[in-house]
Amino acid sequence: MTSIACGIDIGGSGVKGARVDLETGEFIGDRIRIETPQPATPDAVAEVCRELLEGLGVSANVPVGVAFPAPIVHGTVPFIANLDGSWAGIDVNELMLRHLGREVTALNDADAAGLAEVAFGAAKGVPGTVIVTTLGTGIGSAIIVDGTLVPNTELGHLEIDGYDAEKRASSGQREQQELSWKKWAKRLQRYYSHVEMLFSPDLFVVGGGISKKHEKFLPRLDLKTPIVPAQLLNTAGIVGAAYQASREQQR
């Protein structure tokens, strides 16, 4: 693997990028953030990515990974919720090659965060099946088996008790419904017990901004599987995208 790669994390409000030291998972120099253009069309977002790479001074031989708020199936966006609808059907690799003059590795943002936790964070050195969940407005998920990503899992959309899981158990729902930590933990218990039954993982990692308050809810959960807070937090998307880009370049 190369020792340096660049990660770009595309979000609904901002596009962030940094060069990453792949020995440590830490940023090299500053992170750059540019507001997501409105409307966030493919060409407009790709131009912002080009600006980021120029601002970061990323040379042509440095691998570039792009974390994206949608599934990425063989480089293509099948559907999109958080950016402009014109992204549906777009080949991200072809788009970025046209605007950046270089190939990139595109992946789902939850998958990028999961890979970062396995490579550098809370799941580093853990063998077997690791499930990383991101509790935010919805529930993002990543499944990594002995270092290999199972891409585009949407475990936040499991149907549990007749509900879309994230409509009951996300951090966003806790705030919206003004749930106490105890009531929310009961919903998390139902969710994680179900996922545990389906996959029998070796470790759960819980990310998202709410994981900073993990002591309020994680100790209330009763699972066979160890469950721990994420370590990388808001750097995970960039770090995971850079890490995966470096791995893809070696193949």
Asked if residue 151 has a cis previous peptide bond (ω within 30° of 0), the answer is no
Write down the pLDDT at residue 81: 82
Q: What is the mean pLDDT of residues 190-212?
A: 97
Question: Is 115 exposed, middle or buried, given 0-12, 13-18 or 19+ CB atoms closer than 10 A?
Answer: buried
pLDDT per residue over 109-132, tens digit each? 999 999 999 999 999 999 999 999
pLDDT per residue over 50-69, tens digit each? 999 999 999 999 999 999 99
pLDDT per residue over 76-113, tens digit each? 999 988 899 999 999 999 999 999 999 999 999 999 99
Query: What is the distance between the alpha carbons of residues 83 and 30, in angstroms, rounded to a whole number?
Result: 26
pLDDT per residue over 132-141, tens digit each? 999 999 999 9
Instruction: Output the six-digit token pair for 212.
Output: 């900073």
Put residue 162 in one of left, alpha, beta given phi > 0 → left and psi -120 to 50 → alpha: left
Write down the pLDDT at residue 1: 58
Q: What is the mean pLDDT of residues 179-192?
A: 98
pLDDT per residue over 9-33, tens digit each? 999 999 999 999 999 999 999 999 9
Q: Percent of the chain scored above 70 by pLDDT?
A: 99
Write down the pLDDT at residue 124: 98
State the average pLDDT for the chain: 96
